[in-house]
Structure 1
Amino acid sequence: MGEIGVPPALSDAVESLKDAIKAGRTDIFRKLLETCETCEGGGLEERKQLVNSIATDEGTFLHMATKLGRSDIIRALLASGADPGVLDKNGNTPIQICPTSSILSIFMEDLLQATAKSEIGRVCQLIASGMNVNAHDNQLSRNTPLHWAASFGDADTLNCLIARGADVNSCNSEGATPLHDAVARGDPNVVESLLDHGANPHIQCQKGPHKGKTALEMAKLNPELSKTMEKYLSDPSRMENSHYEFSNGSVSPVLGRKSLKEQGSYESLVSVGADSVITNSIDINHPRTKLLRAQSLSSVGEESVNNQPMQNGINGNIQVASARLPLESTSSLEMTPNMEQVCERLAAVQLTMPPKPLVMNSALHRLWPQPKKITELPGQPWRVPKIVTLAVNYGSIPVHQIVDVWNVHKPWLQELNCDIQLGSIIGPRNYNKGNAIIHCVVDPALVMSENHYSITVEENGVKLISGSLSALHHALITFAQLLRVFRSDEIRVPTSSSSSHSGVVIPPLVITDFPSIPNRGFAMDMTPAGRIPTLERVCQIVDTLASLKINHLHLLFKISASSSSSAFSEENQYSQSTPQTRHPSYIEYHCQLPFSQNELVSLERYCSDRGIILTPGFDLNTITSNDKLAIYNISSTISEALSALPSARYVHIGPNLTSLLAEVSTLNGTSPWSQLLLPDNANLMVCANIFHDNSAALDRLPLSCILVEYGFQADYDFSGGCKMAMNKGRSLALCPGTSAWSSLSGWPEAGVSNVYSGVVSSLESGSNTVLVAHWSNSACLTPLVFTWPPLLVAAGLSWNHTTHWDFVHSSVGSLIDQHIIKIPNCGLGDALIELGRCETWLTRVARDQPSNDPSDLPSCQGSILHQLFTDPDSVVMDHLSSDVFGVVMRHVRKAVKEGVNKQGERNPLKGRIERVSSRLGRALVTTGTNPRSNMGIAVMNPGVANLPPTMRTDLANKVLALREVYSSVWLQGHRPKGLHPSLLIFSSLLARLLPEQMMHGV
């Protein structure tokens, strides 16, 4: 890029300034700027012109310093009059390309300084450049620029912020609004301006020096302010024009959103020139200044960016003050978009609600799914003993069923050093619970619905009330989480009581909870040649699902046609082959179940004991014309397979089988659905996507069927299926996908985006089911652990849609550590996300796709790393380079290294497949690079066979070693049958690398 706008007399300084930025030498950079002002042909205006010129490939010097993360140089540029509104060649401002939250905080600091000094031009300039007018100064105080204007600025600055969307009733961490700060300051003009724009004088502070007071009550101490308030409140016309809305950010964007089309395009960036050399003219003794200086704005994150659609994907941020202090981002890699940016892009609009009491104990923030309501109580904490006595009320629910639920959870509680012993059984009107420490009641009459439960923790014990056995399961999950999160809390037990004490101290509190969406499920594709877990591993998955309050598990089996009856000899294969029932056009079908009848019965019992409904699902591998003549045979196969699950409440029919049955019903005018021979008490679940353009078939579908709308890509729109079901008066379930397929490390961005859309659509359409599907295929290379990020987010939001989104987007990794791995802060959760994020980034680079474009994710062709391992010769290399693969390998190594937990445990694969694929990609790019790229294609794929022999030998050795590790890890938790197709991929790659040796069986 040529230099644009550089003063001729200062052109020689450009390269020196760029070198100083690259080297991070702030001292040299400052000296060069001073020289530009004093040299011949230079001056103050010439220096400012140079600073704001397009002098680098990245744009301005500010673009370059921002991209490289040179924080001190950024401050020097801003102090020298750098304009953050100048656009680079991609139309981005420096703010829009901030690589980390710490860099973004520098611009936030500049905005607050300008606000406090009433530099309106600079304030407008920064907001127009992309700064969010409702961002927070730091995560501890959570003051917005309007709070700062109310404390320091004049009325004009305050009006400027409000005109650009500032929330006049935003609450900081103390629950104080800008009006509280204005009244505390004592400036009638600022107070009156806030009131004119709808500030609510009746909001109470939750804590701090003004705890329990409203701005109106505070104003009574100042006669002049009191007069202003009375004048305002007594004027009906002014009251009518105000809008009293409470805002504390206590709701998730799941409650309400707008599409980017509805929001409108990003406003034109306007450069409002203002010389804003930063000085320290603010009152350094003001509490807010002290707090700012102490925090150094290091905790300000991507929320500081304006909540408008942006070209770098940092859009749609939640910017109202949170009712709790969200955890800081744990993302360690500097590759965009990270999970925070992905999730923030989804949250475009949030609603306002009356402020809830602040939950001050940070340990309570780690409960997941987050309870609907937590109230902290005064008093002494409960010191949990090692042996806890339980008292159970008898009533409409038999006591033995209640005790059975406690016994299921007993091993988990014992792991937390808490042993539950049944003490007494008491009548519903008996007040004497003896010496029991926990008092448990299951009665729907005591709560709002049978799905509700409450937990009250007091100094002398716990009261637990639930509306059903299912709600009791959820209550005990929360109870176990309380024991876990407070086991490592700061409160310590006196050594004198350590012999009888569990080491857990829980503060007094009340939890009231119930699910937002009643049915929350996980569907596993049991493709015969795929990654099928052993029964023991499935039971571990069930335990994980239960701990996340997921109450449905679907196992999706495949039905295949066969011409040989010998294929049905195994115990776990069922077929309809009775000679007297054969039709002249008989086609034999079999359903390959990975488990025997006894194992399925055992698994169903295991799920039922943990409050999870096991649902079988069936689908055809492929559809042929002959299948239309064999509906009865297919139905018989399903019926015989269901003999192992006679009490199934639901039967799930996949897309291929739904399409076949819908086509038959349209052609013949019959109802093949009744021929499926399902149990009378089972509800049929069918693929809704098939009926989008086939309303005739939908009209023949029994009304008792449940439509399942599938969507697996990041930008999938569930609204079509929702509208169809609503118009036809049909029950609907939304089925997003984990997107953890056709890759090596999953697609966390696509999975979380798809899950988010599914939960939102479910709430908007009134659907009572969200079912997260993990699709598979033959030779599945993606380990199941990469389903965890989207599954965890789905579990949390479908249970509690009011969960704070700023907490969700910054805590996915740590929540995985806490609730799935069960080793807090071990780093493996973040490692999973970073590996998948790295793989997504590489795929975007290969397609020359913008970082904020969610289309075709996950890619139907598979990720680039997946393609390199399975079919390297077909990978298009046009936009790839050796440096790109170098970046990927460094990120993979860093993610794996930081994923080592504190006990020294590791993922045995250690990212080896990803690194081998990256090495292979780099070798192909290096060999296929055209040294004369100006005379044709810059890089082409030469094919593995054309790599240098030494390169091929080295890669082959790594693949051979990896195959042994891969086999060992597979057999630790998966059925051996699915291993062979995966190993064929290794063999195919080896045959490409060493064709001669493979011919001789090496």
Structure 2
Amino acid sequence: MANAKDETPLHTAVLKAEPEVVKLLLSSGANPSLKTKKGQDAFALAETHNPALLSLLSMDQIARDIRHHKSVDDMDDRMSLISCTETLNTQIFNDSIKYEKYIEGEIDSWTDLLWPQPKLISIKHQSVRNFEFPKDGKLKVYFDDCSSANPRQVMQIIELSKPLLVSVGVDIEYRGHRLADHETSALEGKVTCGVFEDGRPSGSYTLTIDAVRGVEVIGSDYAGIRHAFATFVQIVRLHKYALHKNAVYSNGVSTTPSSPNGNASGDHSILNGSGTTKHLPDISADGTIRELTIRDQPDRAFRAVYQDFSGCRILNPDTILKLATRLSSCKANYLFVNFEVRTTDRYQLPYTNRELFHMMQVCQELFITFVPSIDTQSNYLEGDQAKSIIDQFLDDFPLCKVVHFGPNLASLLIADRKLLTSIQRRVPRIYLSTHVDEKNGPLLSTLPPFVTLCVEGTWPFEVEKYVSPRVSVVIKFSTGDDGYLCAAPESVAKKALLAAKLSDRQTVLGSMVCDLSTGCEAMPPSLSYMSLLASVGVAYNSSTDMKKYAFLLPVIAAHHMLLDGDMVTLFEQVQTLGKVEHQLTKYAYGYWKPNSSSSPNADISATSETTLFGMSANKKMPISVFVEMILNPENMNMERLTPVVFKKARIELKRTSSALDAISKLLPYSYDLALVLEEIRLVTELMVLVSKLGQYMCVYGGQQIDRKKSFEEGLPYSPGRVGVINLPPAIRTDLANTMLRVRGQFQHVWLSRSIPSTLQNALKMFDNLFRALLPHDLQEMGKQLL
């Protein structure tokens, strides 16, 4: 009920800065769009008084839009079922019969969905009994009295995994040290934990699930306990998921709507009508776990994720910590957070000291090393100025024992060893990102032992050719493809294959997967989830067969990043977006002919490795047609493109939209799931808009241009090139209206992930495209709409 000022309880909670009350009211159905007598809704009040609440309000708006979204069935959808889309349906990695069955997401065993893949999994298929979950739903945790572990610390580690167990109906109860008859007692749900240093590397563990003895979790250290419980939680959740699916199908109820076509289908097991047994083979239908033993240890001690906040994209602390929590469960152990300081501005980080301390504290609990990173926009600065910036930066992280410097500052530190040594007195371990060639090789070879180099992962890998093997190296890979909106599935697999290939080098400590602020940084972070998982998984277990798991990344990401196996459709559509964008760009640049040797399934030989990895340091990749049209719609070269190619791209994107509409009907009221769905929908609609723009450019590009009109609009005229000036005003107005709707959708998505102060810069890309699309006589009206 509103008061005399038309203020609802939601308005009051926003004014009083009570996020928990705001969240409770929103989940109860409070309408944030209601206005007070002063004409202010909840968004306006939050923007004025408490900007931190904008994220909550935006996520609620996204969840509401998702739940009420109607699917669209138009002529394009029906045409897409019968149209010849050879441009976009090119199957990657299909040159080997061995991996053909994985193309549709099929797996050999449910253990294929454990990530990273354990080194050894021994399942007793002939065992008489299986491990049963206790009838009271509580696992009883005991501590091995022979272990040197502190029970309190083990409990803290288990508590990290408890929310993931509780969400599937399994709770935890701590019982203390095990009893004398512990091995033979009939108590249900026994879990015994202990730490025993057996000579294996840090993070090693042995997990045993026995019908009588219960669950035994043994780690070589506390990190091993963390990894063991993370694996155990994955096993429990997969079995609970299978039990739920089996119950649904035994009742004859389908929870997944039919998809318009197989390409845009979600859960293949469901849509193909084979149910749980096909989706999770070899799993017990009654929810019990077969007796098994897992013995595992990491191949590399360095498994890092790098978040770059040097551009306009700066994730809010909550998003960073959620990402860290998910990746910690997948055994990542380093989190680099990079900032850029402009030498012309006053030094200031986007987070408060309290937020930074909280992030460091949570990462420490997750067994993740938080690594602050800094760089400047240029290396043209004096040593004193660089020292001042670095000292201020280190003052903000007084407890950190490790730091990373970007290429510009690294070049100064490599040359100034006195400054480098002074930094080491405050921070024991230093990481430096730099390029390596024959010119700087001798200088890099004499770096002190407290320095680790971070270099780009390319093939051929020639770092050892120029740098002494006394210097430790970390290889870096980006989550996306430079100059593209979305990464191609084959590039994700190639980077993981290359990381595994290079992991056997003695100087390589591990790998770092980087979510960079380069290219089109307005793209949401959920598009990089599969790249993150692939790189972390290979760094942990370099023997992982990525030629196989490249096809299983969507279902793995659904289970371990979104914690919902039914959401596999979302990541399948992300892969489709990447295929569409890359195939269309290949047509534009004349690279349309498939090359079998470019597949990661090709045999790695001396003559084919360079082509296989396709990541030469000297190789210049073309920019995406989509990105080029977004950034430069006034002057495009459409020589090799036709309306038919763009039409096929748009049909394929429409099929993706239909698949997203279908999965939205299953979506519960969940901020996280709704946000990821809306992020993927946003990119899809943006690509549909650009495809329509490209199609119109091809249709009207051959018409004569009025040179006077070109001069009045301030748009360049180049013979042989096409721009929005070629289009009729009605079409431009229609496209501008669509762009305005996409822009509004983007604002909610951006505020849900990033700090509010970055929104203005992030909108520039959309604003520029909107102004370019709008006819000259409507420009003044357009200013009022932005």
- Shared fold by TM > 0.5? yes
| CA displacement, residues 474-510 of structure 1 (integer Å, 9 cap, x when unaligned) | 111111111111113369999xxxxxxx984211111
CA RMSD of aligned residues (A): 3.5
The residue aligned with 2:129 is 380
Hey, what does 2:274 align to over in structure 1?
A: none
Matching residue of 1:330: 104
Residue correspondences, number: 614
* 2:563 counterpart residue number: 822
Gaps of 5+ in 1: 1-66, 71-95, 102-301, 303-312, 332-339, 341-358, 495-501, 569-589, 932-937
CA distance in 2, matches of 1:952, 1:641: 48
SS of the residue 2:462 aligns to: helix
Check 1:957–1:766 CA distance in 2 against 1; reply closer, same or farther (3 A cut): same
Tell me what 2:419 maps to. 672
1:152-163, aligned counterparts within 5 Å?
none
1:403 and 1:693 map into 2 onto residues whose CA distance is: 53
Matched-pair contact (CA < 8 Å) for 1:885–1:921: yes
Decide whether the 8 Å contact of 2:678 with 2:749 is kept in 1. Answer: no
In the aligned structure 2, how far is the partner of 1:855 from the partner of 1:803? 20
Contact 2:520 2:627 in 1 (8 A): no
What secondary structure is seen at the aligned counterpart in 2 of 1:763? coil
CA distance in 2, matches of 1:503, 1:986: 52
- Aligned match of 2:231: 478
Cα deviation per residue 1:340-385 (whole Å; 9 max; x = unaligned)? Answer: 9xxxxxxxxxxxxxxxxxx97x222221111111111223111112
Kindly state the Cα deviation for residue 839 of structure 1 after the two structures are TM-superposed.
Answer: 0.7
Q: Aligned runs of 1:425-444 on 2, under 5 Å?
A: 425-426=177-178, 435=187, 437-444=189-196
Q: TM-score, normalised by structure 2?
A: 0.72
The change in CA–CA distance for 1:617 and 1:701 in structure 2 (over 3 A counts) is: same
Q: Does 2:262 correspond to 1:506?
A: no
CA distance in 2, matches of 1:718, 1:649: 33
Paired position in structure 2 for 1:687 = 433
SS of 1:781's equivalent? coil
Shift of 1:615: 0.6
Cα distance, 1:493–1:559 mapped onto 2, change above 3 Å: closer
Distance in 1 between residues matched to 2:204 and 2:227, nearest whole Å: 9
The residue matched to 2:517 in structure 1 has which SS?
Answer: coil
* Equivalent residue, structure 1, for 2:144: 393
SS of the equivalent of 1:876 reads coil
Q: Contact 2:87 / 2:584 at 8 angstroms: preserved in 1?
A: no
What is the distance in 1 between the residues matched to 2:548 and 2:138? Answer: 35
User: In the alignment, residue 558 of structure 2 is paired with which amino acid?
Assistant: D
Structure 1 counterpart SS, 2:288: strand
SS for the counterpart of 2:560 is helix
Question: 5+ unaligned residues in a row in structure 2: which ranges?
Answer: 1-81, 248-284, 599-613, 668-673, 705-717
Q: CA deviation at 1:707?
A: 1.1
CA contact (8 A) 2:538 2:544 kept: yes
Q: How has the CA–CA distance of structure 1 residues 764 and 778 changed in structure 2, closer, same or farther, with 3 Å as cutoff?
A: closer
Larger RCO, structures 1/2 (Cα 8 Å, 6+ apart): 2
Alignment pair present for 1:898 and 2:647: no
Partner AA of 1:967 in structure 2: Q
For residues 801-950 of structure 1, the aligned pairs below 5 Å read: 801-826=542-567, 827-849=569-591, 850-852=593-595, 854=614, 862-899=623-660, 900-901=662-663, 903-904=666-667, 906-907=677-678, 909-910=681-682, 911-929=684-702, 940-950=720-730
Structure 1 residue 69 displacement after superposition: 9.2
CA contact (8 A) 2:88 2:652 kept: no
Report the alpha carbon displacement of residue 655 of structure 1 after superposing the two structures with TM.
1.3
Q: In the TM superposition, what whole-angstrom CA distance separates every residue of 1:708-763 from its partner, at most 9, and x where no partner exists?
A: 1124xxxx3251124444x3421111111112553333344333322321231122
Gap change, CA 1:741 and 1:375, over 3 Å in 2? same
**Is 1:753 aligned to residue 494 of structure 2?**
yes
Aligned to 1:556: 338
Is the counterpart of residue 970 in structure 1 residue 754 in structure 2? no
Instruction: Quote the residue 1:212 is aligned against.
Output: none
Corresponding residue number in structure 2 for 1:616: 372
* Distance in 1 separating the partners of 2:361 and 2:88: 52
Whole-Å separation in 2 of the counterparts to 1:983 and 1:859: 28
Matched residue SS, 1:462: strand
Cα offsets for 1:238-261 (capped at 9, x unmatched): xxxxxxxxxxxxxxxxxxxxxxxx
Counterpart of 1:991? 771
Q: Quick one: which amino acid aligns to residue 699 of structure 2?
A: T
CA separation of 1:428 and 1:797: change in aligned 2, threshold 3 A: farther
| 1:486–1:506 Cα contact (<8 Å) kept | yes
Which residue is equivalent to 1:264? none
Using the alignment, how far apart are the partners of 1:442 and 1:767 within structure 2? 32
When residues 484 and 525 of structure 1 are mapped into structure 2, their CA distance, relative to the original with a 3 A threshold, is: same
Tell me which residue corresponds to 2:112.
365
Check if 1:769 corresponds to 2:532: no
Distance 1:642 1:427, change over 3 A: farther
Tell me how far 1:516 sits from its aligned partner.
Answer: 1.7
8 A contact 1:455–1:465 mirrored in 2: yes
Counterparts of 1:754 and 1:428, CA distance in 2: 51
The code of the aligned residue for 1:894 comes to R
1:701 aligns with 2:447: yes
The equivalent residue for 1:147 is: none
1:247-262 equivalences under 5 Å are none
| Letter paired with 1:409 | S
Q: Secondary structure at the match of 2:102?
A: coil
Please say if 1:652 is aligned against 2:404.
Answer: yes
Code of the aligned partner of 1:998: Q
* Counterpart AA for 2:698: V
Instruction: Determine the C-alpha separation between the residues in 2 that align with 1:708 and 1:468.
Output: 28
Bigger mean CA offset, 652-661 vs 957-966 = 652-661
Distance 1:939 1:841 in 2: 27
Partner secondary structure for residue 441 of structure 1: strand
In 2, the alpha carbon distance for the partners of 1:648 and 1:729 equals: 25
Contact 1:380 1:459 in 2 (8 A): yes
> Could you list the per-position Cα deviations for residues 304-344 of structure 1 after superposition, in whole angstroms to 9, with x for gaps in the alignment?
xxxxxxxxx855x484xx9xxx963237xxxxxxxx9xxxx
Report matched runs for 1:565-644 at 5 Å.
568=346, 590=347, 592-624=348-380, 627=381, 629=382, 631-644=383-396
CA distance in 2, matches of 1:318, 1:638: 54
Q: Which residue number corresponds to residue 280 of structure 1? A: none
Measured after TM superposition, the shift of residue 404 of structure 1 is: 0.9
CA deviation profile, 1:258-297 (whole Å, cap 9, x unmatched) = xxxxxxxxxxxxxxxxxxxxxxxxxxxxxxxxxxxxxxxx
Q: Are residue 743 (structure 1) and residue 484 (structure 2) matched?
A: yes
Tell me the SS of whatever aligns to 1:424.
strand
1:451 and 1:514 in contact (8 A); partners too: yes
Shift of 1:687: 2.1
- Show the counterpart of 1:227: none
User: Aligned pair in 2 of structure 1 residues 503, 480: CA closer, same or farther (>3 Å)?
Assistant: farther
Q: Tell me the amino acid that sits aligned with residue 761 of structure 2.
A: P
**Aligned partners of 1:464, 1:782: CA distance in 2, in Å?**
40
Structure 2 Cα separation of the partners of residues 724 and 618 of structure 1: 26
**2: CA distance between counterparts of 1:780 and 1:97?**
27
Give distance in 2, aligned partners of 1:399 and 1:643: 35
Distance 2:141 2:722 in 1: 71
Query: 2:313·2:521 contact (CA, 8 Å) conserved in 1?
Result: yes
Q: Aligned in 2, Cα 1:701/1:428: closer, same or farther, shift over 3 Å?
A: farther
Cα shift at 1:388:
1.1
In 1: Cα distance, 2:574 partner to 2:544 partner: 23
Distance 1:705 1:503 in 2: 53
Between the two proteins, what is the percent identity of the paired residues?
22
CA distance in 2, matches of 1:885, 1:98: 11
Higher-Rg structure is 1
Cα distance in 2 for partners of 1:430, 1:640 equals 56
Instruction: Give the CA deviation at 1:867.
Output: 1.3
